[in-house]
Chain A
Amino acid sequence: MTVGAWEAFLLVLHRELCLSFRRPEQLFQPLVFFLIVTTLFPLGLSLQLSALRDIAPGVLWVAALLSSLLSLDSLFKSDADDGTLEQLALSGQGLTLIVVAKTGAHWLVTGLALVIVSPIVAIALGIPTSAFAIMMLSLALGTLTLSWLGAIGAGLTIGLRRGNVLLSLIVLPLATPLLIFGAAATDRAISGTSTAGAMYFLAALCVFTCTLAPWAATAALRITLE
């Protein structure tokens, strides 16, 4: 009696979340990195809070991008190292389903965590609370898109020496539109102007990526598994 696609998806999701929470210290690392990077900017620029506000959206977004990238390396690496990736590929459920479940789980523990922590960072950067809603929504969309771009990159760089450097090299140029729209949305939310344009573009980018990236990431994994 074969297992349906939805059931299989939930099982893989469960597996990923189980594995993530077995090593809770690893969940905190990207978040701590997020806080550290954000702290570096005021230290490096020694600005007043009011002046920080001008560069805050950019700083927040760059820090979020870099923190997400840190954890993307491990999306497939651990499974590839111990041979369980092959077992998943041969499960009869189709590699795309596996990839969607793994990336979804990764976003839940990384991207979503970043979104939840972002108000703390925002306060440190002088972003007014009126902008929080847009900031968090844009971060949610942005980190989801980034998880997918990162899945493609991670699929291509499994097992390479200095794979994580190469991963960043590959993913960051592709992520520039994200950064532009996300930071612009947050910036406009701070200044009170209309955020609709930036948010629509960001949402469109997210939908576009979430639709096409699974196939690209699956193709990447197949190349690596050979």
Chain B
Amino acid sequence: MWTWFYKLASPPYVYGVAAALRLWLFGAAALAMGYGLIAGLAIAPPDYQQGDAFRMIYVHVPGAILSLTVYTVMAAASAVALIWRIKVGHAVAAASAPIGASFAILALVTGSLWGKPMWGTYWAWDPRLTSELILLFLYVGVMSLRSAFEDPLRGDRAAALLAVVGVVNVPIVHFSVVWWNSLHQGATIVRIGAPKMPGSMLWPLLSMWLGFMLFFGAVLCMRLQAEVLNRERQASWVREAIKS
């Protein structure tokens, strides 16, 4: 089992795996998202309470879930890189961060757009949107920290530590924001939330979630290839790979 683990620590091996998986992941993501979007936007019936506005769920919820998932992936890769000094972990973390941040922005924008028909305003300090916003700030912090260092390895390590510290805080932040919101209940009567879900609404949602995950995987492969090439640019295998 450990040989598999240590194989993954080798940059050329990871590069090869990423190159091989990329196309399949993109294809699978396209299929899943395609079904999800068509079934969710066109075929599923409108919600009796929210009307057609609820369809935002098909982008908003998977986006929010992914922003959290990607943060966890980033933190796990960072932890591996810090504890076992496996540099590929830093590459994975660096590659994932902007993707996760983009998902967070997507969740916030779609949440805000969903809020307009629901609350009449684009923003109302809903607890989940607020903790999503703080998650975005955490992403920005990690990315800024990484780029602030002149020595890239130190930047990687510092960002990795911050990611690990952040992941411990994410549940705490979320809990405290939900608690805070429960104190100040008032403005938001209709919460952005999943309406009761019959199959015709649920399956497209799950498919979109799967599609987003596959999409993350595919983009991660792409970015990981670029990161690995950049970090290992002195190595001989890189020259071979670029030639081919």
Binding site for B on A (CB under 8 A): 152, 156-157, 160-163, 166, 169-170, 172-174, 176-177, 180-181, 184, 201, 205, 208, 212, 216, 219-220, 223-224, 226
Contact = CB atoms under 8 A, between A and B. Distances in A.
A151 to B, nearest CB: 11
B187 to A, nearest CB: 16
B8 to A, nearest CB: 23
Could you tell me the dominant secondary structure of chain B's interface residues? helix
Could you tell me the dominant secondary structure of chain A's interface residues? helix
A205 B172 CA distance: 9
A184 B183 contact: yes
Nearest to B174: A177
A169 B137 CA distance: 8
Given A180-B177, A184-B180, A223-B154, A172 B161 contact: no
Contact of A156 (B137, B158, B172, B175): B158
7 contacts: A170-B141, A173-B137, A174-B169, A177-B172, A205-B172, A212-B168, A220-B158
Contact of B134 (A152, A173, A181): A173
B165 interface: yes
Q: Which 6 A-B pairs have the closest CB atoms?
A: A177-B176, A173-B137, A180-B180, A223-B157, A170-B141, A180-B176
Residue from A160, A163, A170, A224 having most chain B Cβ neighbours under 10 A? A170
B24 interface: no
Nearest to B164: A216
A224 B180 CA distance: 36
